[in-house]
Amino acid sequence: MNLPLLKPALKTNVQRVGILLPLRLSGSYDYIIDQDLPRGSLVTAPLGPREYLACVWRPAEGEVEEAKLKRATPISANPRLPESLCDFIDWVAQYTLTSPGLVLALALRVPQAFEPAVARLGYVRGPTTPGRLTLARQRALDIAADGLARSIGSLAEEANVSPAVVRGLIDAGSLTETGLPEFDRFTEPDPEFKFTTLNLEQEAAARSLCGAVASERFSASLLDGVTGSGKTETYFEAVAEALRRGKQALILLPEIALTVQFLDRFAERFGCRPAEWHSDLTSKERRRSYRAVMSGEARAVVGARSALFLPFSKLGVIVVDEEHEQAYKQEEGAIYHARDMAVVRARIENCPIVLASATPSLETYVNASSGRYKWLKLPRRHGSAVLPKVQLIDLRRARAEAGTWLSQPLRDALAATLESGEQALLFLNRRGYAPLTLCETCGHKMTCRQCSAWLVQHRYHRKLVCHHCGFETPLAHACPQCQAVTSFVACGPGVERVAEEFTSLFPHARMAIASSDTLHGPAETQAAIRAMAKHEIDVVIGTQIVAKGHHFPQLTLVGVVDGDLGGADGDLRSRERTFQLLHQVSGRAGRAEKPGLVLIQTRNPEDMVMKALASGDRNAFYEQERIYRQRAQAPPFGRFAAIILSGTDGDAVRECGRMLSAAAPPGRGVKVWGPTPAFYQILRGRTRERLLVQAERHVDIQAYLRAWLARVQCPNAVRLAVDVDPVSFF
Ligand code: ADP
Ligand code: ZN
């Protein structure tokens, strides 16, 4: 008999364990560790020359000899990610075909959060009274008399004395040293701070949501309310219920909607601002929020999509506001849809989720109408405000003169609005002056050097800009192809060009352009919004930056310069996107007492998107779209996944595409399309090819993709990205 050699059992507490590093690796690696740590515990683990913050993930594989294993070190105070977050990370990795380490990296974005707390020095009233008692010293001692510990800085500030005065008191023994926590505590939002009297529909919806929170079980609800119906007021009640039950609440917003206004509205209802989570936080603020979420101290968090990966310890409800927004899709690194993954997180946490929108995604609409999600409707605007009247302007008849973009009916409406002292918004989702600049002599189109895209003319800054890679070049004098001088013509309008036309028509109106070129960062955007709200501006000409969420009581006219823009891309979601955007923009008009009017210029007034906008029959559009998708076996009636190949060597990319396509395994109910050049064939100098997998609903598309990708080895020069449930088809 061949007995394996038994090693003498080690009498120490050495454990082998699978540890996940926050890197693009295929899975966890075995390490040894001196302590028995549960899943989710954070450690530092060496890999190559570096140490990483990593996470105890699962039992060891046991394939590598123990002697060869590296040692991981526990972190003092043993911080630990909640088990549910670990399960969530595994789930997201599995679904999106991303390496679990890359998903873990989303949850460990703030490594500093696990460093031991840095105690600050604070001071309290000490036993001795100083010999020399100046007025300043007396003031400082009076403040310190309440016994609370304060830093030198805050005591000096509160007493209105210089820090030197405080130091003098310390030296004199009149103030003694004590520890202060590193951060001030988050104030606890008070669910009973200020009640909003809800109208009947809001009340019914809020009751349903509160019931869902009270059940402490998973459920999904669509809060489907027209713009201005008070969706926020309504879902705040669900947040209040979670707070009452001692739980945490997460509100996800598209980054652009994360405004001071929103935080203030929260504070009006709950008495303090929520914890925030978005790209604008400093690393200190991140550390503070992260730790407070993990300990449960932060009870309400408002954040952008990455907040979904925070270590909540007792989540009671998730709200996804503007759930249809494309901004929820993360397109780089770990490619995931935050709305869909939020539903998964709610399921894992066993708490309810609320999806709110005036124009839900078709997927959510179908889930609501099939009964899978509860469908809560707010069909009216709150108060006396009514939905605006929407009219189409048929550009085939009401043609604007060549080189102009505002038709006569729209000009008349603008004149009438200005006449009556009200405000207007002209919407065109295109930055700059003109999307295309070409040479009239030879027809040469100015394109980007490293992208297959036109350069957009920005006349205000006198340059041509690539909106994909940021490449810029001054507006040249001569054509680079035929050298003809002053032969360039601008084709088509951008907001700057519409502004130019507007100013020539209404030279005395106060006009502002609102796009990401003219408004730099949140502060300037806030300032512009405030100026508009205070009626310091008569007309805003803007891109989608002004389409969302804002409330301007005096705004009664919305003009859509080109209603057909966007609908022409022809991808799966372009019609839905156009409808959502125009509906959202239209919703800016007439939000207070005065009724609103929306004029949409279009060349396709017969199109369902336009007809539904004009009739106000939103669901007619959704029902037609549902039929299209059903026929095409497109999501949610079938499954899509895209494979995007890219690289600087175009031939290698194309060759890799052919190889992949040839290696596609046959699968029942699966079709593979492509490879085809992507819409933007070259971006940032990288050639891009796409393949699309289309599968019937019952197919396990992840298993199919895994089997397929296991068969091929992409050359190092070609990057392969998998996009499950793609939103963008570029
Ligand atoms: P939505 O998000 O559905 O577009 P909002 O929640 O922004 O709508 O509400 C629109 C406006 O109506 C806001 O100014 C809001 O404060 C107000 N409002 C909504 N519901 C109420 C209510 N029950 N009582 C008082 N004001 C309300
Ligand atoms: Zn470019």
Q: Is the CB of 575 under 6 A from ligand 1?
A: no
Closest protein CA for atom 22 of ligand 1: 198
Nearest 5°: the CA angle 527, 530, 535 is 130
> Which whole number is the average pLDDT over 477-488?
89
Bond preceding residue 553 cis, omega within 30 of 0: no
Q: How far is the CA of 469 from the centre of ligand 2 (A)?
A: 4
Is residue 7's pLDDT more than 60? no
Share of the chain above pLDDT 90, in %: 62
Q: How far is the CA of 61 from the centre of ligand 2 (A)?
A: 46
Cα–Cα distance measured from residue 132 to residue 522, given in angstroms and rounded to the nearest whole number: 50
> Which whole number is the average pLDDT over 688-696?
94
- Pairing relationship of beta strands 472-474 and 463-465 according to DSSP bridges: antiparallel
Q: How far is the CA of 322 from the centre of ligand 1 (A)?
A: 15
* Span 298-336, pLDDT tens digits: 999 999 999 999 999 999 999 999 999 989 999 888 999
Q: Is the CB of 321 under 6 A from ligand 1?
A: no
Ligand with smallest separation from the Cα of 378 = 1
Cα–Cα distance measured from residue 215 to residue 229, given in angstroms and rounded to the nearest whole number: 26
pLDDT of residue 9: 42
Q: How far is the CA of 701 from the centre of ligand 1 (A)?
A: 42
Q: Is the CB of 229 under 6 A from ligand 1?
A: yes
Q: How far is the CA of 113 from the centre of ligand 1 (A)?
A: 37
> Which whole number is the average pLDDT over 46-54?
94
Is residue 177's pLDDT more than 80? yes
- Pairing relationship of beta strands 555-560 and 597-602 according to DSSP bridges: parallel
For helices 163-171 and 152-159, what crossing angle results, to 10°? Answer: 120
pLDDT of residue 569: 56
Atom of ligand 1 nearest to the CA of 551: 14
Mutate-to-test residue for ligand 1 from 226, 232, 319, 586, highest number of ligand atoms within 8 A of CB? 232
The answer to whether the CB of 445 falls within 8 A of the CB of 434 is no
Q: How far is the CA of 682 from the centre of ligand 2 (A)?
A: 8
> Which whole number is the average pLDDT over 398-419?
91
Q: How far is the CA of 232 from the centre of ligand 1 (A)?
A: 7
Q: Is the CB of 225 under 6 A from ligand 1?
A: yes
Mutate-to-test residue for ligand 1 from 207, 233, 262, 593, highest number of ligand atoms within 8 A of CB? 233
Task: Name residues whose C-beta falls within 8 Å of residue 353's C-beta, 6 or more positions apart in sequence.
Answer: 218, 219, 220, 221, 317, 318, 319, 320, 342, 343, 346
pLDDT of residue 367: 97
pLDDT of residue 149: 84
> Sheet of 275-277: strands edge to edge?
275-277, 300-303, 248-252, 315-321, 352-357, 219-225, 374-378
- Pairing relationship of beta strands 300-303 and 248-252 according to DSSP bridges: parallel
For helices 231-244 and 260-270, what crossing angle results, to 10°? Answer: 50
Which residues lie across from 572 on neighbouring strands?
none
Atom of ligand 1 nearest to the CA of 385: 12
User: Is residue 663 classed as helix, strand or coil in its secondary structure?
Assistant: helix
Cα–Cα distance measured from residue 193 to residue 581, given in angstroms and rounded to the nearest whole number: 35
DSSP line for 209-220 = HHHHHHHTS-EE
Backbone dihedral angles phi then psi of residue 90, each to the nearest 5 degrees: -60, -40
Cα–Cα distance measured from residue 642 to residue 217, given in angstroms and rounded to the nearest whole number: 34
Closest protein CA for atom 15 of ligand 1: 230
pLDDT of residue 527: 82
Share of the chain above pLDDT 70, in %: 97
Q: How far is the CA of 408 from the centre of ligand 1 (A)?
A: 35
Which token pair is 708? 């397929």
The answer to whether the CB of 390 falls within 8 A of the CB of 613 is yes
pTM for this model (two decimals): 0.88
Atom of ligand 1 nearest to the CA of 229: 3
* Span 336-358, pLDDT tens digits: 999 999 999 999 999 999 999 99
* Span 658-687, pLDDT tens digits: 999 999 999 899 999 989 998 888 889 999
15-19, 215-219, 307-311: segment of lowest average pLDDT:
15-19
Which token pair is 692? 């699309």
* Span 65-119, pLDDT tens digits: 888 899 999 998 888 999 999 999 999 999 999 999 999 999 998 888 887 777 7
- Pairing relationship of beta strands 539-542 and 511-514 according to DSSP bridges: parallel
75-79, 271-275, 502-506, 618-622: segment of lowest average pLDDT:
75-79
Return the C-alpha torsion angle 459, 461, 464, 467, nearest 10: -110
- The band of 5, judged by pLDDT with boundaries at 50, 70 and 90, is very low
Q: Is the CB of 588 under 6 A from ligand 1?
A: no
Q: Is the CB of 233 under 6 A from ligand 1?
A: yes
The answer to whether the CB of 320 falls within 8 A of the CB of 339 is yes
Is residue 6's pLDDT more than 50? no
Mutate-to-test residue for ligand 1 from 382, 551, 554, highest number of ligand atoms within 8 A of CB? 382
Q: Is the CB of 231 under 6 A from ligand 1?
A: yes
Q: How far is the CA of 447 from the centre of ligand 2 (A)?
A: 8
Which residues lie across from 124 on neighbouring strands?
176
Q: How far is the CA of 198 from the centre of ligand 1 (A)?
A: 9
* Span 133-151, pLDDT tens digits: 888 999 999 988 888 888 8
The answer to whether the CB of 573 falls within 8 A of the CB of 365 is no
Ligand with smallest separation from the Cα of 262 = 1
Closest protein CA for atom 18 of ligand 1: 230
Closest protein CA for atom 17 of ligand 1: 230
Ligand with smallest separation from the Cα of 224 = 1
Ligand with smallest separation from the Cα of 453 = 2
- Pairing relationship of beta strands 423-427 and 555-560 according to DSSP bridges: parallel
Task: Output the CA–CA distances (angstroms, integers) from residue 605 to 394, 395, 492, 613, in the order listed.
Answer: 6, 9, 20, 10
Cα–Cα distance measured from residue 34 to residue 190, given in angstroms and rounded to the nearest whole number: 44
Cα–Cα distance measured from residue 112 to residue 307, given in angstroms and rounded to the nearest whole number: 17
Which residues lie across from 647 on neighbouring strands?
687
Which token pair is 563? 């209603």
Surrounding ion ligand 2 within 5 Å at CB are 448, 451, 466, 468-469, 471
Half-sphere exposure in the Cβ direction for 231 (13 Å, CA): 27
Of 638, 622, 570, the residue nearest 357 (C-alpha): 622
Task: Name residues whose C-beta falls within 8 Å of residue 718's C-beta, 6 or more positions apart in sequence.
Answer: 645, 646, 647, 649, 652, 653, 656
Q: How far is the CA of 485 from the centre of ligand 2 (A)?
A: 25
Ligand with smallest separation from the Cα of 383 = 1
Ligand with smallest separation from the Cα of 467 = 2
Q: How far is the CA of 92 from the centre of ligand 2 (A)?
A: 32
Is residue 4's pLDDT more than 80? no
Residue written as token pair 């060597």: 649
Q: Is the CB of 199 under 6 A from ligand 1?
A: yes
Ligand with smallest separation from the Cα of 471 = 2
Task: Name residues whose C-beta falls within 8 Å of residue 281's C-beta, 6 or more positions apart in sequence.
Answer: 289
pLDDT of residue 179: 80
Cα–Cα distance measured from residue 646 to residue 433, given in angstroms and rounded to the nearest whole number: 31
Closest protein CA for atom 10 of ligand 1: 228
* Span 555-583, pLDDT tens digits: 999 999 999 886 555 577 888 989 999 99
Q: Is the CB of 551 under 6 A from ligand 1?
A: yes
User: Is residue 20 classed as helix, strand or coil in its secondary structure?
Assistant: strand
Q: Between 451 and 550, name the one with better pLDDT.
A: 451
Q: Is the CB of 387 under 6 A from ligand 1?
A: no
Is residue 463's pLDDT more than 80? yes
Is residue 533's pLDDT more than 50? yes
Q: Between 261 and 493, name the one with better pLDDT.
A: 493
Q: How far is the CA of 142 from the centre of ligand 1 (A)?
A: 45
Closest protein CA for atom 20 of ligand 1: 230
Q: How far is the CA of 296 from the centre of ligand 1 (A)?
A: 30
Is residue 471's pLDDT more than 80? yes
Cα–Cα distance measured from residue 567 to residue 254, given in angstroms and rounded to the nearest whole number: 22
For helices 408-419 and 495-505, what crossing angle results, to 10°? Answer: 60
The answer to whether the CB of 599 falls within 8 A of the CB of 409 is yes
Q: Is the CB of 202 under 6 A from ligand 1?
A: yes
- The band of 707, judged by pLDDT with boundaries at 50, 70 and 90, is very high
Query: What's the whole-number average pLDDT of the chain?
Result: 90
Q: Is the CB of 228 under 6 A from ligand 1?
A: yes
Q: Is the CB of 227 under 6 A from ligand 1?
A: yes
Residue written as token pair 């609370």: 148
Q: Is the CB of 196 under 6 A from ligand 1?
A: yes
**Number of Cβ atoms within 10 Å of the Cβ of 499:** 24
pLDDT of residue 258: 72
> Which whole number is the average pLDDT over 192-199?
93
User: Is residue 658 classed as helix, strand or coil in its secondary structure?
Assistant: helix
